[in-house]
Amino acid sequence: MIGGETDTARGSAMAGAALLAAGAALHGGAGRVYVSLLGDGAPMLDAAQPELMFRRAGALDLPALTVVCGCGGGEAVRDVLPAVLAQAPRLVLDADALNAIAADAALQAALQARAGQATVLTPHPLEAARLLGTGTRTVQGDRLRAAMELAERFRCGVVLKGSGSVIAAPGQVPRINPTGNARLATAGTGDVLAGLAGALLAGGGDAFGAACAAAYRHGALANAWPADSALTAGALARRLTP
């Protein structure tokens, strides 16, 4: 997991997204999970999840890893993206990574150059609009077309999040995920989805299959959630354990 911007003034306040994604990968079956928090003052231990192993971004052996990038990270994620896009054999891009790519033509070209490698984008409608150079209203007006256009433009798997998440990939018939409910609107559940998709890629899944399976399992857990219990992203990640 690469993300979770920190600095000495805010401490680990921005690290939650990366830790949620890492927890989802851990409970989703990824096995060994490394966390790389960006910026100064990054903690090197999560006491609630001591299984997670913290590393500086420059110490990661990217060619040997499945990488989930952009769950937090802010502007700092832009600096690590060229190496991640060039070296990671299996990659999930979320949130801040998607926004950085949308604003940088060189990063867009680097993403397109990954064609043939396992890559999954997990945008919400605004992030999708930025990547496509359009508006959220246009994306929401034809979600199927937007997901397919993203998949074709960047030659990768796409989960366009929202009510009826759309999963698309080049050469595949797109799917509309049938699971999930409004409880998934709570903060951090998108980070859980990204971490789960990364775990499924790490297990040998292809981009489209991992994206479909992650969206389905993520939503199915929300559907089965006890009516008298609040759904939080951290609890959702822990429920991923088979």
pLDDT computed for residue 1 by the predictor: 66
What does the alpha-carbon distance between residue 140 and residue 143 come to, in Å, rounded to a whole number? 5
Write the pLDDT tens digit of every residue in 178-218.
999 999 999 999 999 999 999 999 999 999 999 999 999 99
The span from the CA of 215 to the CA of 157, in Å, is 12
Domain segments of the chain as ranges: 2-238
Q: What is the structure's pLDDT at 11?
A: 36
Q: Can you give the pLDDT at residue 14? A: 59
Lowest pLDDT segment from 12-26, 39-53, 111-125, 141-155: 39-53
Buried b (16+ CB within 10 A) or exposed e, 21-50: bbbbbbbbebeebbbbbbbeebeeebeebe
| pTM for the model | 0.94
pLDDT tens, position by position, 104-161: 999 999 999 999 999 999 999 999 999 999 999 999 999 999 999 999 999 999 999 9
Q: How far apart are CA 181 and CA 163, in angstroms?
A: 7
Average pLDDT over residues 85-112: 98
State residue 162's pLDDT score.
Answer: 96
Helix axes 189-202, 207-223, angle to 10 degrees: 140
**Residues in contact with 188: Cβ distance below 8 Å, sequence separation at least 6, in sequence order:** 16, 17, 20, 232, 233, 234
**Amino acid 9: pLDDT:** 36
At the second CATH level, the architecture of 2-238 is: 3-Layer(aba) Sandwich (3.40)
